[in-house]
Each structure stands twice: as structure tokens, then as C-alpha cells.
Structure 1
Amino acid sequence: MKQIAYHVFVVILLSALTFNIALARQTDEAVIKNLDNLEREAVLKGDTAALFNKFWSPNIVINTPANRVGTVETAKASLRAGKLNYASFERVIEKITFTENIAIVMGYEVIKPQGASDHAGKTVTRRYTNIWMTGKDGWQVVARQATIIKVE
């Protein structure tokens, strides 16, 4: 009888631990979804303080839609030149994967560039990946990739 009670206890304990781990992942996923959306809004608004002080790591590496590798400095230059100016910016997350202190977010974006931006006045659809890493400054994007798949 003691052995059955012990096994029942172990099963309940393992179930509780599994539930807590799953719940923590759901919480992490909600945090990343929110941050990815806030980062999108900061790009749309041109909020450089939020982008450079909160969302983007000072060491960010970007594979840009213009097929160039960029850094935080090239992102600053693009913003100053009005190259990241959008009338609208929608983002759809298709998958979030966690590996230790890294969250990989993949999906697609639909933007309507304006002003000095490439493809101004058109609708641009692109695939994207944001790689978030958590550290002493919280979650920040350390790498980003965006590839244009359609311009209408």
C-alpha cells in the first residue's frame, strides 16, 4: 500500500512540475509577444529612445530587407535618413521558440513605406525573424532578419 501511495505521490509531483514548466513557458511567450509588438510600434512611431535604449541591443546585427548586413549604427543612419518611415506596420507571429535565455520569433510583416523609404507608397510583405536574448538589461533583440517576399 505504501508503494502505491508513493507512486501516486510521484505522479502528482511530476504532473505539477510539468504544469509549472508549461505555465512558465506560456508566461515567457506572452512577454515576448508583447515585447515584439511594442518594438513594432516603436519602429512605426520612429521612437528612437525606445528602440536604442530598450528594445535593440547595442550589439544588434541585422540582415536587412535591402540584402545588407547592418548594425545599430546603420539602423541609426537609416532612421536619420527617413528610410524606416512607415504609414502602417503589421506583424504576425507564427512561431516562438525558446532555448535557454534566447527567444526566436518568426513570422511575417506587412508595411506601407512612405517618404524616403524604399518602395514608398506600395505595400511590402516580408518574412522576419527577431532573436531576443535576456540578460542584465532584460529582453533585447540581438539579431534580426527581414526578407521582402512581395511588393504591390
Structure 2
Amino acid sequence: MSRTLRLTLLLALLASCGIASAQAQELDARARQQLPQAAEAVGRAIVARDLDALSKLWSPKLLVNSPDNSVLTRDQVFGAIKAGMLDYEQGYAFRLERAEFYGNVAVTMGEDTYTPTFGPEKGKLLHRRATNIWQYSDGAWVLIARQATIYDPAVKHY
């Protein structure tokens, strides 16, 4: 292969990498804008007990640290929703405080506020510190892991 042909092929390859890189950055900007909407959609779907919507927003491999100190799969969380054990009054909210992106994965941290209709805290406004791990795939964000801890905002530990 001649030197000129090799140089031409190398330049074409580099140019195509630049185009692909620009397209990836474009996707990142659009994907970053979609993440808060996905988080809000999860909240609405939980309040509405909309398992079809949650099936699209939650990975089939979702893991959740549960308030009963166990790790649950998506199917187990669906079971809790169906049994009425995960049921919130209107007004559930997630306040996003920070999001960091790592390729097609994002970590969000913030606070949930909600009022459960089941359990020992029934009818009481609760606050949770929450960490959610999302994955961007096929043009949409899906939740792959979640950890949330109920806390008293009046108590400062340090």
C-alpha cells in the first residue's frame, strides 16, 4: 500500500472519529437533559401505582435497599406496590441536589419527601436522603440501583 493511500485512509479514519465524537457529545447533552424528567416520571408512576410506566423506567435488574433493611429486586418492589406496602399520598417529591455522569451511567443524590399510606409512619411526612444510579440505553434513562435512608431534618449530626 502506498504511503499516500495509507495517509488518506488514516485521515479519513480520524475525521470519522471526530464526527462520531461530536455526535456522542450531542447525545450526552440531550441525555443529561432527560435525566431530571426520568426521575420525576418515577415519582409520578409510584404515586399512581403505574407498573407499566415503572417497567420502562426501572431496569429488570434493579436493586433497591428497602426500608425494612433488605435488598429488593424490581419484581419484589412491584410485589410491594401490588400489596399496598409501597403506597404514597399525593405530594411525593424528589429534590435533585447533584448529578454526576460517567459515560452512560449517572449518579443522582438528593432528598425524597413523601407521606406513606401504609406502615408505622402512615400519614406522616417523611424525608429520605436518596442515591439513585441510572443507565442511559436505547435513548432512555433506566434506574438500575437505589438507596434511600429516612432521616429527621431537625437532627444535625455534625
TM-score normalised per structure 1 = 0.77
Q: Give 1:89 deviation, angstroms.
A: 0.5
- Cα distance in structure 1, aligned partners of 2:82 and 2:153: 24
Q: Does 2:47 match 1:66?
A: no
Q: Which has the larger strand fraction?
A: 1
Residue 24 of structure 1: CA displacement? 6.0
Instruction: Confirm whether residue 138 of structure 1 aligns to residue 137 of structure 2.
Output: no
Structure 1 CA distance, aligned partners of 2:114 and 2:104? Answer: 30
Runs of 4+ in 1 over 3 A off after TM superposition: 23-27
CA shift for structure 1 position 45: 0.8
> CA-to-partner distance for each residue in 1:97-146, whole Å, 9 max, x for gaps?
000110111100110111x3441111110011111112247321010111
1:109 aligns to 2:112 (yes or no): yes
Question: Structure 1 vs Structure 2: percent identity of aligned residues?
Answer: 30
Q: CA RMSD in A?
A: 2.4
Comparing 92-101 with 24-33, greater Cα deviation is found at: 24-33
- Residue 36 of structure 2 corresponds to residue 36 of structure 1: no
- The 1:32–1:64 alpha-carbon spacing in structure 2 relative to 1, beyond 3 Å, is same
Q: Pairwise mapping of residues 1-152 of structure 1 onto structure 2 (< 5 A)?
A: 21=25, 26-52=29-55, 54-87=56-89, 88-114=91-117, 116-136=118-138, 138-150=140-152
2:17 match: none
Count residues with an aligned counterpart. Answer: 132
Q: How far apart are 1:25 and its partner, in Å?
A: 5.0
Conserved? CA contact 1:93–1:108, under 8 Å: yes
User: 1:9 is matched with which residue?
Assistant: none
Q: Which has the larger radius of gyration?
A: 2
TM-score by length of 2: 0.74
| Other structure's SS at 2:35 match | helix
In structure 1, stretches of 5+ residues that fail to align are 1-16
